Chain A
Amino acid sequence: MPSEAEMRLRERLSKLGGMKLLRGTKLSGELARLQDQLDQLDQLDPSAEEIWQSVELARHVDRPYTLDYVERIFDDFFELHGDRGRADDPALVTGLGRIDGRTVVLVGHQKGRDIKERANRNFGMAYPEGYRKAMRAMALASRHGFPFVTMVDTPGAYPGVAAEQHGQGGAIARSQAAMVRLPVPTIACVIGEGGSGGAVAIAVADRVLMQENAIYSVISPEGCAAILWRDAGEARKAAAAFKPDALHCVELGVVDAVVAEPPGGAHTDVDAAAQLLEQGILAALDEIEDVEPDERRRLRREKYRVMGILASTA
């Protein structure tokens, strides 16, 4: 039996059904429609409690991870390993698979299911080697004209001594730059935790999808609370303040579409969640597949160029 909060959320999402193309504010012809949708969203503003529920569901121990979706969505999947420089980073998987009759390249963070796998996959926190493996997959997609799909699910890039020595900041910057330049259609799906730089490193895409209970944020609630409240225990307050939930991400123009999850969250019915995600990916591919490569890059840059909200004293 779904909780009352969940019922409210579902009701909201059904209202959101017709607004999956909310994007950069430069689409001037669409402004009236956007304003309309924003007015609607104002009335749908998620409460602090609902935001925290998203944080908990996004991190739920049984939440499906990238490879759970890969085996359900892609046929004939072949995993690619190694950055061709120094290592293979298990926190980030890359591979080739078929979806709806075409080959695509897949890149995604991968958390572990049990203690041993979690340690091996470093809880989905990639090293620079992981992002360099992702860039290798991008180059492959570009060379062969394969659409490029990513699944984002990381608490953040790994903050360790070796990671810094191997150039974590530069790797994240270059991974984004490589994604900006891809001539092929690109889709990013935020499926769990979209944690800061480690997430956006593989999320600069023509279409960014976000699952209903995923979160996408500039810092973890605990990190933000530790800095601004000087108490990591104030994570709920921090989350309520910086609003990492899917609806706010749509409202701010950061995410193009929200992908529904089964009632109670993706972990309650992984097959159904995978089916919904597959539909989302295919719908997004349909929208962007026929664009010329130069035009695609131009539109992608334009989309990111207008992100942010400003004021002026002039």
Chain B
Amino acid sequence: MSSGQGRVDVEVENKRPDEPAQGKHPNTCPGCGSHYRDEELAESLRVCPQCGHHFRVGARERIEQVVDPGTFDESDADLRSADPLEFFDLRPYTERLVEAEMETGLGDAIVCGAGEIEGRACDLAVMDFAFMGGSMGSVVGEKFARSCERAAEARNPLVSISASGGARMQEGILALMQLPKTICAIDELHESGGAMFSVLTHPTTGGVLASFASLGDVVLAEPGALMSFAGPRVVSQTTREKLPDDFGLAESNYRYGHLDAIVPRPELRGTLAQLLRLFERS
């Protein structure tokens, strides 16, 4: 418990390659610099064929990657954030919401619905980092909770695939309340005998890691995914600690016992199918 002591005043850089800097093409691999056409990347599930770097995947594309073609049935696509605080920083929250919806084509940072993986039914709750950093406000919390309820009702396992910077500041304390809200929903799902599998993708931090993403019956992560409660910048600035090269990454979390497995993206569909088989209720 003494790591705050003996502080060394150095600027620490997170050595993990970041997403491409502004100006660089998003299809340029931050790991090895290779460049791909969009259809090439889509074909390889957005994993770099050269170095194995996992690019980000949007929610709809992720769903296509894991479910059987044509089986996904989306729910609650109509839900939108309200603006309970009339939040205004440099720009109004409502304006940021509209912009995010226009950019991503999504109503909020999560897509939910039912589908089949290798012929087995499940409910899915899949987050999208492109919508305001995958932040969790009332809509993400509500859609996740409804997914738990649908899964319990249909006696299906729930597959959660997270990508989030944490709670959405613009919804203030109500964003924080989505932590206990999603946890209550999982508690009810578990009480009904239902299962939840949580897949953490880059990045899953803050309030999402500190709530539903950590509470799967089985917890998986993609290689290289950052999964820390506090981000590397906050930790280095607050504590002046020197960060290990693999700070907060899936590999480090696996070593410390916070994960059941690290699953490369091409194996994710098969792994989820295996879990669905193992948790099948007679």
Residues of A within 8 A of B (CB): 87, 89, 119, 122, 127, 129, 157-170, 172-174, 176-177, 180-181, 196-197, 200-201, 204, 216-219, 223-224, 227-229, 237-238, 241-244, 248-249, 252, 254, 300-301, 304-305, 307-314
Q: Closest chain B residue to A301 by CB distance?
A: B184
Q: How far is the CA of A309 from the CA of B171 in the complex (A)?
A: 9
Q: Within the complex, which residue of B80, B169, B212 is in contact with A310, where a contact is CB–CB below 8 Å?
A: B80
Say yes or no for B98: interface residue by CB 8 A criterion.
Answer: no
Residues of chain B within 8 A of A160, CB atoms compared: 3-4, 230, 235, 238-239, 241
- Known interface pairs A172-B229, A228-B169; A177-B89 also in contact (CB < 8 Å): no
Nearest Cβ on chain A to B151's Cβ, whole angstroms = 15
Give the residue of B89, B142, B185, B213 whose beta carbon is less than 8 angstroms from that of A229: B89
How many B residues face the partner with a CB closer than 8 A? Answer: 70
User: How far, in Å, is B216 (CB) from chain A's closest CB?
Assistant: 10
Q: Is there contact, CB below 8 Å, between B229 and A164?
A: yes
8 Å CB interface, B211-235 against A: 211-215, 227-230, 234-235
B127-148 interface mask toward A, CB cutoff 8 Å, 1 = contact, 0 = none?
A: 0000000000111011001000
Q: Which residues of A contact B138 (CB under 8 A)?
A: 307-310
Q: A174-B214, A218-B175, A254-B177 are in contact. Are A161 and B247 (CB under 8 A)?
A: yes
Contacts of B169 in A (CB 8 A): 218-219, 224, 227-228, 242
Say whether B187 contacts A248, CB under 8 Å.
no
> Which chain B residue lies CB-closest to A249?
B173
CA distance A197 to B167 in the complex (A): 9
Check B183–A173 contact: CB distance below 8 A. yes
Using CB atoms, name the residue of chain A closest to B211: A173
Query: Which residue of A127, A129, A164, A218 contacts B167 across the interface (Cβ within 8 Å)?
Result: A218
Chain A hits for B243, CB < 8 A? 161
Contact with A173, one of B80, B214, B247 (Cβ below 8 angstroms):
B214
Chain B, 28-54, CB within 8 A of any chain A CB: none
Q: Which of B4, B167, B170, B185 has the most CB of A within 10 A?
A: B4
- B110-118, B202-210, B270-278: which lies at the A interface? B202-210
A159-B234 in contact given A242-B169, A252-B84, A305-B145 (Cβ < 8 Å): yes
With A177-B187, A180-B187, A304-B180 already in contact, the answer to whether A310 and B248 are too (CB < 8 A) is: no
- CB <8 Å contact, A161 and B241: yes
B248: which A residues are within 8 A, CB to CB?
Answer: 164
- Asked if B106 lies at the interface with its beta carbon under 8 angstroms from chain A, I say no
Cβ of A60 to closest chain B Cβ, rounded Å: 21
Q: How distant is A206 from chain B, measured CB to nearest CB, in Å? A: 12
Report the bound CA distance from A300 to B185 in whole Å. 11
In the assembled complex, which residues on chain B have CB atoms less than 8 Å from the CB atom of A180?
180, 183-184, 187
CB distance from A205 to the nearest CB of B (A): 9
Contact call A311/B80, Cβ cutoff below 8 A? yes
Contacts of B107 in A (CB 8 A): 313
Once bound together, how far apart are the Cα atoms of A52 and B229, in whole Å? Answer: 27
Q: What residue in chain A is nearest B93 (Cβ atoms)?
A: A241
Instruction: Name the contact of A167 in the complex, choosing from B145, B171, B258 (C-beta under 8 A).
Output: B258
Q: Which of A227, A304, A314: most chain B CB closer than 10 A?
A: A304
B228 touches A311 (CB 8 A): no
**Counting chain A CB atoms within 10 Å of each CB, which of B137, B178, B207 scores highest?**
B207
Q: Is the pair B215, A241 in contact by a Cβ cutoff of 8 Å?
A: no
With A170-B214, A197-B210, A218-B173 known as contacts, the answer to whether A165 contacts B252 (CB < 8 A) is yes
Extra 18 A-B pairs, beta carbons < 8 Å, given A160-B241, A169-B210, A252-B172: A157-B210, A161-B235, A162-B3, A163-B229, A172-B210, A172-B229, A176-B183, A196-B207, A218-B173, A229-B89, A241-B89, A242-B170, A244-B173, A248-B172, A301-B187, A308-B178, A312-B79, A314-B78
How far does the alpha carbon of A121 sit from the alpha carbon of B243 in the complex, in Å? Answer: 23
Instruction: With A218-B167, A311-B80 as known contacts, state yes or no: A176 contacts B211, CB within 8 Å.
Output: yes
Task: Report the separation of the CA atoms of residues A167 and B82 in the bound assembly, to the nearest whole angstrom.
Answer: 33
CB distance from A93 to the nearest CB of B (A): 15
Whether the Cβ atoms of B173 and A127 lie closer than 8 Å is: no
Are the C-beta atoms of B214 and A169 separated by less than 8 Å? Answer: yes
B279 at the binding interface (Cβ < 8 Å): no
Q: What's the nearest-Cβ distance from chain B to residue A251, in Å?
A: 9
Interchain CA distance A300-B142 in the complex, whole Å: 17
Q: Closest Cβ of chain B: how far from A116's Cβ, in Å?
A: 13
**Interchain nearest-CB distance for B74 vs A (Å):** 13
Known: A160-B235, A164-B229, A311-B82. A238 touches B215 (CB 8 A): no
CA distance A235 to B187 in the complex (A): 36
CA distance A225 to B183 in the complex (A): 28
CB distance from A18 to the nearest CB of B (A): 23
Interface residues of B in 146-191 (CB under 8 A from A): 167-181, 183-188
Determine if B87 and A242 form an interchain contact, defined as CB atoms under 8 angstroms apart. yes
Considering the chains assembled together, what is the distance between the CA atoms of A114 and B35 in angstroms?
A: 57
